[in-house]
């Protein structure tokens, strides 16, 4: 715990050193500065598709890329990616370690992995951004709302992640490099739920990078895809409810990368592999494919409510199977 009762009502609140640094951070990067940074980043992009109507324009972008067989990468930057980008600020060491330790436990089942490999994850996220054609990031309203949350209820790691995307990109990168990219919401993958099967109907090939071995069969039948392939990844530790290292990185990672070989220019892949989705999307595009980072939408399709903010009615509406057991 800490003397501010910061995040006292949440799981694993920060210790005193990290809490002191958070209070310094919240003063230095206040509401006005963070919202200005959001506006600077999003305003640098060629276009911005955010909100309930975003699914249509993003679906149109995908259809054009598929029709032209043009390699592309569509990635999502969530709070975990923001924690990694926040670490690149190199300003708040205790807060950085707290954030990375907590998200490392959630994703990989290891408290130390992302701390020990901080530079690898920073490089991976930045390469993903550089290679991406469309980037989904936290929404302005989410960042704004976080400044009104009472300290005991504040998810420090999550909010540092949401704000950290824009803190880092606005302050430590050349925003001119976003001028040919589309900016979207982190939730663009959800906005595409009404469109996926229309976009992918009768594709000659569809690859999956996921922990769900049954997903390709459901897609092959429903979308009438000629050929499907799955590259399996370990299930995220928090979803699998395990408290041990899932051995995704560095153990399984090289073999997964090696398997990402698009069979032709413009072959489409559905990617749902946590924070390492950025690395896999980058590899797919560089090798000629089209990568769509769908994140927790894969859980929705498999009937699994994997996130606290995931509406039950959304799962009920879009699930493709009744429920998906945790793979052994």
pLDDT in tens, 34-62: 999 999 999 999 999 998 789 999 999 99
pLDDT in tens, 187-224: 999 999 999 999 999 999 999 999 999 999 999 999 99
Contact 131, 57 (CB under 8 A): no
Write the Ramachandran bin of 293: left for phi over 0, alpha for psi from -120 to 50, otherwise beta. beta
Q: pLDDT at position 52, please?
A: 78
| Whether pLDDT at 327 is above 90 | no
Q: pLDDT at position 325, please?
A: 46
* C-alpha span between 40 and 127 (Å, rounded): 20
pLDDT (mean) for 297-320: 86
pLDDT in tens, 268-297: 999 999 999 999 999 999 999 999 999 999
Q: pLDDT at position 270, please?
A: 98
| Whether pLDDT at 111 is above 60 | yes
Instruction: Report which of 183, 222, 227 is spatially closest to residue 199, judged by C-alpha positions.
Output: 222
pTM, entire model: 0.95
pLDDT (mean) for 228-236: 97
Write the Ramachandran bin of 184: left for phi over 0, alpha for psi from -120 to 50, otherwise beta. beta
Residue 250: cis peptide before it, omega within 30 degrees of 0: yes
């Amino acid at each position: 715990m800490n003397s501010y009762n910061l995040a006292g009502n949440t799981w694993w609140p920060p210790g005193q050193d990290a809490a002191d640094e958070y209070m310094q951070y919240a003063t230095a990067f206040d509401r006005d500065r963070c919202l200005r940074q959001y506006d600077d980043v999003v305003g640098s992009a060629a276009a911005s598709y955010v909100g309930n109507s975003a699914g249509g324009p993003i679906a149109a972008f995908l259809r054009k890329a598929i029709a032209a067989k043009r390699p592309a990468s569509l990635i999502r930057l969530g709070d975990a990616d923001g924690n990694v980008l926040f670490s690149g600020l190199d300003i708040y060491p205790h807060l950085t370690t707290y954030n990375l330790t907590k998200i490392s436990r959630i994703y990989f089942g290891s408290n130390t992995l992302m701390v020990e490999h901080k530079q690898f994850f920073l490089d991976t996220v930045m390469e993903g951004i550089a290679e991406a054609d469309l980037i989904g990031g936290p929404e302005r309203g989410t960042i704004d709302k976080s400044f009104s949350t009472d300290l005991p209820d504040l998810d420090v790691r999550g909010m540092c992640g949401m704000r950290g995307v824009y803190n880092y990109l606005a302050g430590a990168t050349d925003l001119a490099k976003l001028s040919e990219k589309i900016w979207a919401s982190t939730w663009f993958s959800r906005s595409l739920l009404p469109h996926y099967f229309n976009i992918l109907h009768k594709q000659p090939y569809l690859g999956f990078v996921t922990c769900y071995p049954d997903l390709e069969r459901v897609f092959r039948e429903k979308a009438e895809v000629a050929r499907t392939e799955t590259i399996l990844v370990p299930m995220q530790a928090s979803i699998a409810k395990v408290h041990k290292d899932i051995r995704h990185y560095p153990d399984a990672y090289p073999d997964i990368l090696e398997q990402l070989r698009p069979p032709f220019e413009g072959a489409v892949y559905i990617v749902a592999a946590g924070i390492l989705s950025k690395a896999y999307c980058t590899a797919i595009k560089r090798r000629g494919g089209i990568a769509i980072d769908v994140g927790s939408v894969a859980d929705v399709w498999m009937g699994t409510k994997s996130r606290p903010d995931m509406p039950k009615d959304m799962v009920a509406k879009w699930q493709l199977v009744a429920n998906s057991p945790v793979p052994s």
